[in-house]
Amino acid sequence: MGKATGFMEYNRENNGSVEPLERIKSFNEFHPPLSRDARIRQAARCMDCGVPFCQSGIALGGAFTGCPLHNMAPEWNDLVYHGNFEEAYKRLRKTNNFPEFTGRVCPALCEAACTCALHGDAVTVRENELFVVENAYASGIVRPDIPKVRTGKRVAVVGSGPAGLAAADQLNHRGHSVTVFEKADRVGGLLMYGIPNMKLQKSVIDRRVELMRAEGVEFKTNADVGRDVAAGGLAAVFDAVILCCGAKKARDLKVPGRDAGGVYFAVDFLTSTTKSLLDSNLKAGTYISARGKNVVVVGGGDTGNDCVGTCVRHGCASVTQLEMMPRPPKERGENNPWPEWPRVEKTDYGQQEAIAVFGHDPRLYQRTVKEIAAGEDGNIKEIVTVSLMPRSENGRTVMVPVEGSEETLPCELLLIAAGFVGTESYIPEAFGLATDARGNIATHEGFRTSLPNVFAAGDTRRGQSLVVHAIAEGRAAARQVDEFLMGYTNLI
């Protein structure tokens, strides 16, 4: 696969990156691609390693490693190296419905498991993937693939995030008539409003949605199933219903002063910016603004980082990111060997931008909010933070407050990016479905709910996760639904 000696001859080279102080002037993507020849050299680094851990997709060491979609990276890297870009796209599409999404926002679980990463730098699998699909669009290889025969079966997909879109795409190509219901005003779910434009430009989503429309998928926006659209009606009218509603019930802060003005959940904050950006290029001012404010973000994950990058673009006075857990090591520990996901410190784009603007890392580790203080107008003016220390309780590590470690920070905008605790309750209630201990819709035998023709997939079934996991869930659910409808399935 690839060039037998490529991994020895060529060093890893990533796509470019616009400098932080320049890129924060807009909400545009900021990673210009390598030239075609340079990308071919990167594909040549994919070695004939015998056992391609990159496509394993397994849980290992308490985390996931390798591609959950089992993308055949060695195969299409070899095709890129030999200049057969059309066939590379066809091989990529066999396992991944939306490589233009994962090529931008996936944390590249494949690269963590790449054999080259054992003693050096992994192959640029994610960026090679993005090259393959973007070249396919530019070359006219991507065209509507309209099913020649329809089965007469009707499927409703509730939610147009990555799981819902993947399920809809698979079932439509199988010949079923698919209608996707989305409660927001635009299609895309998490992709549209949960991920900022600089990570995933929304024209990329619109391009794929228009292709799916041309292939026969029907989309209904502003259609909130369980509220505006009767749940029972869907189950009665459609032969099958797949719930791909996400896990949007945010984890809250239970501290004194929580009811102060200026405290928001991260997704609401990010959604307001993206919607205003798309509606009026922010000119209408219909978004939660961080301009001139001291901002504190609670949560050290990807969503917290997205909040930091967005606040910097707004023109905040300062931004601080609180992380409950200890700072990760710079390099892998002996208890975290390859091919496990590397539990090491990562400074992401938003943090890089905050460092460039304010001169220091915005993250404070082992710290959380103890109290919120409001001014006379009822709006937040400062927070009291407290240090945390790890302690073992009943065989598990918990973070406990350190007495006397309180510090006060000025804060006019507090963003809660502390994760999610399950799907919004009105959806399972509308269908009469049970939820599990984590607040997700309960399923059995894969994706089946307690109703015979209602299925659940994606974050609404497994909890908050990655886009690549959601696509894998949507594809797997589509296989089960197809078998339910037809008695067999030929979907992969």
Least confident interval from 57-66, 173-182, 316-325 = 57-66
Q: What is the pLDDT of residues 202-213, one digit of tens each?
A: 999 999 999 999
Q: Is the confidence at residue 480, as pLDDT, over 80?
A: yes
Same domain, 429 and 388: no
Q: Is the confidence at residue 50, as pLDDT, over 90?
A: no
Q: Give the residue with greater pLDDT, 49 vs 88.
A: 88
Residues 6+ apart with CB under 8 A from 410: 294, 318, 381, 382
Tell me the residue type at 15.
N
Indicate whether this model's pTM tops 0.75.
yes
Same domain, 425 and 393: no
Q: Is the confidence at residue 48, as pLDDT, over 80?
A: no
Domain that includes residue 22, residue range: 6-138
Same domain, 301 and 355: yes
Which CATH number covers residue 347?
3.50.50.60
Domain finish residue from 83, 107, 138: 138
- Sign of the CA dihedral running 193, 195, 199, 203: negative
Q: What is the pLDDT of residues 254-286, one digit of tens each?
A: 999 999 999 999 999 999 999 999 999 999 999
What pLDDT shows up at residue 1? 58
Q: Is the confidence at residue 4, as pLDDT, over 90?
A: no
Q: Is the confidence at residue 378, as pLDDT, over 90?
A: yes
Do residues 340 and 60 lie in contact, with contact meaning Cβ atoms separated by under 8 Å? yes
3-state helix, strand, coil in the chain (%, to 5): 35, 20, 45
Q: Is residue 143 part of a domain?
A: no
Q: Is residue 257 part of a domain?
A: no
Q: Is the confidence at residue 432, as pLDDT, over 70?
A: yes
Nearest-angstrom CA–CA distance, 178 and 163: 14
For residue 54, give the 3-state DSSP assignment: helix
Q: Is residue 254 part of a domain?
A: no
Q: Is residue 43 part of a domain?
A: yes
Nearest-angstrom CA–CA distance, 452 and 75: 39
Q: Buried b / exposed e across 103-121, counting CB within 10 Å, b at 16+? A: bbbbbbbbbbbbbbbeeee
pLDDT interval class at 394 (50, 70, 90) = confident
Q: What is the pLDDT of residues 15-39, one digit of tens each?
A: 999 999 999 999 999 999 999 999 9
Do residues 290 and 317 lie in contact, with contact meaning Cβ atoms separated by under 8 Å? no
Interval 213-231 mean pLDDT: 97
- Work out the percent of the chain whose per-residue pLDDT is above 90: 96
For residue 485, give the 3-state DSSP assignment: helix
What pLDDT shows up at residue 302? 95
Q: Is residue 491 part of a domain?
A: no
Same domain, 120 and 19: yes
pLDDT interval class at 2 (50, 70, 90) = low
Residue reference for tokens 């192959």: 123
Nearest-angstrom CA–CA distance, 161 and 205: 10
Same domain, 273 and 194: no
Same domain, 410 and 432: no
Q: Is residue 145 part of a domain?
A: no
Q: Is residue 149 part of a domain?
A: no
What pLDDT shows up at residue 441? 97
Same domain, 411 and 425: no
Interval 422-434 mean pLDDT: 95
Q: Is residue 125 part of a domain?
A: yes
pLDDT interval class at 407 (50, 70, 90) = very high
What pLDDT shows up at residue 47? 85
Q: What angle do CA 243, 492, 167 make, to 5 degrees?
A: 20
For residue 99, give the 3-state DSSP assignment: helix
Average pLDDT of the chain?
96
Backbone angles phi, psi at 319, to 5 degrees: -145, 130
Rounded to the nearest 10 degrees, the angle between the axes of helix 125-138 and helix 36-44 is: 140
